[in-house]
Amino acid sequence: MKVFKFGGASVSTAERIRNVGKILRQYRGEKILVVVSAMGKTTNALEKVVTAFYEGKKDEALDLFSAVKESHNEVSAQLLGQPLSQLTDFYTEIEWLLHDRPVQSFDYYYDQIVCVGELLSSSIVSHYLTTAGVKNDWLDVRDIFRTDDNFRDARIDWTITAQKVKEQVEPLFSGFNIVLTQGFIGATDENESTTLGREGSDYSAAVFANLLNAESQTIWKDVQGVMNADPKIYSEAQWIRELNYREVIEMAFYGAQVIHPKTIKPLQNKGIPLYVKSFLHPDEEGTCIHSRQVANLPPIIVYKADQVLAQLTAKDFSFVSEGLTAEAYRILTDLKLKPNLTQNAAISLLCVLDDRSDKVEAFALKASEKFEVSVMKNLTLLTIRHYTKELVEKLTAGFEIVLQQQTPETVQMLLATKA
Ligand code: ASP
Ligand code: MG
């Protein structure tokens, strides 16, 4: 058994969906659980629908949703010659909801609405594959992935999910070689839809790989494999043939947009190799991620833009003895903020955070009850693993280094544009 994940870019147009069929045909005869993401930038578009709805702008929400419908109808018509009735059912569900007035949390509505992206794309892909002679069974993953109700970042209940995979997914493979389902989404025990965090489909695939004891997982992307830097930012980016799980976790932790960080653990726990391959060049080798040590890795460069630096200083020294850091972390945890970097000093704590304005403001406000707070914006966090002095100099030239942390393996620098 293999697990494949096709990301948004690989199913963004009718032509690309045909390409998915071409790839799957190359694996004829093999059992494959296929996870698909929402088409192209659908998740972003749906996020806008949620925002409009939550701000009480019903008409705007409906208009924005119409655009999502149109693009899906168009692709479906291109592939199947007609709109799909299954799509209409999903549309109706969302439109009913959009006619209500929001009474629950934003995150709750986010999940009820945004989950439709994966439901639509997977339906289109599944029907297309069937008409193209690639027999497959479509599965609503919300019947399988049980999660808690921590909307937008829901956690899988492994016990219940494992049982459902065993009882409801494994048997499907006696009738079909390909079972096709959605990434990113799940449901609570009350059948409310949930999502697993942005880019969560990689993780969904890994959960399946783990529970099905897959021989491998493959993520099909629009790049050659894992690169040592984002080629859009760093023109000398190079392809990496193999990496171990640990390295990938580190890269993702520092913000590399390679693979959702939660993806590795379910694979590592069962020693399942992860391939990252190009859906445009499926015959190329791609990157293999596994448990063995890999020698001679190139420097790995990760940029995280839109960072803020918050400095918390104890007002009257009182928190120094009482645990300044503990207090600051309590505030961060309450706001579900995860600092990307922290540094302790005698009477202050420095935190580097993603600039999610609402949250940073809430944090500054709450922290100012106990600390002097200052916030510096428009920063970039640069991380280099396996760094060399020359590379650090090259990449920081022209910037002011606001903060720096270094281990023998990794250097992190918070950069500001020089005034
Ligand atoms: N469609 C979701 C997103 O764009 C999940 C995923 O693609 O992995 O975040
Ligand atoms: Mg995606």
Query: What is the percentage of the chain residues whose pLDDT exceeds 70?
Result: 99
* Least confident residue range of 66-70, 108-112, 139-143, 360-364: 360-364
Q: Is the CB of 40 under 6 A from ligand 1?
A: no
Q: Any idea which ligand is nearest the CA of 117?
A: 1
Rounded to the nearest angstrom, the distance between the alpha carbon of 97 and the centre of ligand 2 is: 25
Residue whose structure tokens are 């992935």: 145
**Regarding beta strands 32-36 and 178-182, do their DSSP bridges make them parallel or antiparallel, or are they unpaired?**
parallel
DSSP codes of every residue in 4-21 = EEE-GGGGSSHHHHHHHH
Sheet holding 178-182, edge to edge: 136-138, 178-182, 32-36, 2-6, 216-221, 274-278, 287-290, 242-244
pTM comes to: 0.86
Query: How many whole angstroms from its chain centre is CA 290?
Result: 20
Query: What are 151-178's pLDDT values in tens digits?
Result: 999 999 999 999 999 999 999 999 999 9
The pick from 199, 203, 258, 279 for probing ligand 1's pocket by mutation, whose C-beta has the most ligand atoms within 8 angstroms, reads 199
Span(s) in the chain for CATH 3.40.1160.10:
2-290
Q: What is the pLDDT of residue 314?
A: 86
Q: How many CB atoms lie within 10 A of CB 317?
A: 11
Enter the tokens of residue 242. Answer: 């193999």
Span(s) in the chain for CATH 3.30.2130.10:
300-417
Closest by Cα among 210, 200, 201 to 162:
210
The pick from 4, 6, 42, 43 for probing ligand 1's pocket by mutation, whose C-beta has the most ligand atoms within 8 angstroms, reads 43
Rounded to the nearest angstrom, the distance between the alpha carbon of 259 and the centre of ligand 1 is: 11
Whether residue 150 contacts residue 188, with contact meaning beta carbons closer than 8 Å, is answered with no
Q: What is the pLDDT of residue 317?
A: 76
Crossing angle for the helix pair 106-114 and 42-54, nearest 10 degrees? 140
Q: How many CB atoms lie within 10 A of CB 159?
A: 9
Whether residue 128 contacts residue 80, with contact meaning beta carbons closer than 8 Å, is answered with yes
Atom 2 of ligand 1, nearest CA residue: 199
Residue 236 has pLDDT above 70, yes or no: yes
Q: Does domain 300-417 have CATH number 3.30.2130.10?
A: yes
Find the largest Cα–Cα distance for the chain: 73
Q: Which CATH superfamily is domain 2-290 in?
A: Acetylglutamate kinase-like (3.40.1160.10)
Residue 100, C-beta contacts closer than 8 angstroms, at least 6 positions apart: none
What is the average pLDDT across 58-72? 98
Q: What is the pLDDT of residue 321?
A: 58
- CA torsion 249-282-227-381 (nearest 10°) is -60
Rounded Cα gap, residues 396 and 145, in angstroms: 44
Q: What is the pLDDT of residue 322?
A: 67
